[in-house]
Amino acid sequence: MQTQTLRLDQITTAHQENHRITLDDEATRALAADIKRNGLLSPIRVLHRDQAYQLIYGHRRLAAVALLDWSEIATFIEVDPNTKTAAIRAAENLTQERLSPVEEAIAITQWINAEELSVSDLATLMHRTTPWVQSRVDIATYPPDLQEHLHSGDLSIASARELALITDDEPRVHMLSYILKTGANAGVVKGWVTQWHADKEDPAYDPTQTPDPDRAYAPVIPMTICFMCREATRLAESSQLAFCPPCLATIREAQDAQRVSQYPPAAPPPVHHTAHTVQSTLPPDALPPPVAPPGTASTAPDPPATASPASASPLSTSQTGPTI
């Protein structure tokens, strides 16, 4: 393999099987700014065949230097006509560039076909698990509507895997629209697909009939509680924030204090003590004297003096009367 500088107009991409479905303009501009600042750190790679230079990989780098109005670019040149360009391109893109699941599926499928590899062999080469590679191989067989939303990020791989089990277009499109509207997770989608399989066993099942929204696979709108106002809100419309435990505790304490200030606890009703005057029908001298606390002198007045029984007797010798 040779290394030299080629003019941009010498390089053709007509035969390139580019794995990227679309080029992100913003990402390309960011790459161009990085190349302008740091230079081109990795040359692109081409195959010299039939007096032409066919691009193997480096599509984004080629587009970025074109934005910088460069006329030349550093290039690795393959001269062996038996070079397996598809495998090289797939290996480069899968390890160096951020691809969507659909773009990964395209690259992996081309690599497997070019090298005639099994899924497990490719997983070993990529240092990936076999289920991961198999999932990308499966994505390459999904219907176009699922691939479209997988590529854009509107649909998760797990939900797409469930929807791909529906072989009838009408129910699948109907459920996909609900997922995009409500943000239903893969667990909810799995329930819908299970119900679809049960409905399919019904002799009256019509695959062209739009599913009844009142059935078991009607949309279940995932809800969550707002962390600030504690009101219910749609999960698809909420945002997820990460807090460490100390900060989370601080926020919750502030929320509790705010709720207490806005909604103070109700005060207990006041207790009114009514004095009741008890009037006795007994004469004052018949009431018992107050009892003094232990260790203190009694302040009660002394009771009035009374005559002894002897002095009160009519036969008392002290009583004066007529002499007989």
DSSP H helical ranges for the chain: 25-38, 59-67, 85-96, 101-115, 119-126, 130-139, 144-152, 157-163, 169-182, 186-200, 245-262, 309-312
pLDDT at residue 163, rounded to an integer: 92
Contact indicator for 145, 135 with CB cutoff of 8 Å: no
Contact indicator for 17, 86 with CB cutoff of 8 Å: yes
pLDDT at residue 23, rounded to an integer: 59
Work out whether strand 11-12 and strand 232-234 pair parallel, antiparallel, or are unpaired. Answer: unpaired
Q: Radius of gyration (Cα) for the chain, nearest Å?
A: 47
**Angle subtended at Cα 174 by Cα 170 and Cα 177, rounded to the nearest 5 degrees:** 140
Give the architecture (CATH level 2) of 1-83: Alpha-Beta Complex (3.90)
pLDDT at residue 322, rounded to an integer: 44
Show Cβ contacts of residue 43 under 8 Å, excluding neighbours closer than 6 positions. 3, 58, 73, 74, 75, 76
pLDDT at residue 317, rounded to an integer: 44
Contact indicator for 7, 40 with CB cutoff of 8 Å: no
Predicted confidence pLDDT, tens digits, the chain (324 residues): 667 888 888 888 754 455 555 556 777 888 888 888 888 888 888 888 777 888 887 888 888 888 888 988 988 887 766 666 666 666 666 666 677 888 888 888 878 887 788 888 888 887 889 999 899 999 999 999 999 999 888 899 999 999 999 888 888 888 888 888 888 888 888 888 887 887 777 777 776 665 554 454 555 566 777 777 777 777 777 777 778 888 888 888 887 887 777 767 666 666 555 544 445 455 556 555 655 555 555 555 555 555 544 444 444 444 444 444
Show Cβ contacts of residue 157 under 8 Å, excluding neighbours closer than 6 positions. 101, 135, 139, 150
Query: What CATH number has the domain spanning 84-141?
Result: 1.10.10
Residue 272 structure tokens: 């009114």
Phi, psi (rounded to 5 degrees) for 53: -115, 105
Query: What is the distance between the alpha carbons of residues 163 and 73, in angstroms, rounded to a whole number?
Result: 45
Residue 75 structure tokens: 């290039």
Could you identify the residue written with the tokens 């080029």? 23
Show Cβ contacts of residue 173 under 8 Å, excluding neighbours closer than 6 positions. 145
CA distances from residue 323 to 23, 310, 319, 320 in whole angstroms, order as listed: 153, 21, 12, 9
Could you identify the residue written with the tokens 């707002």? 226
Annotated domain spans of the chain:
1-83, 84-141, 153-221, 225-259
Query: What is the distance between the alpha carbons of residues 113 and 54, in angstroms, rounded to a whole number?
Result: 20
pLDDT at residue 310, rounded to an integer: 47
Contacts 24+ apart (CB under 8 A), 30-35: 31/60, 31/61, 31/64, 32/64, 32/65, 32/67, 32/68, 35/61, 35/64, 35/65, 35/68
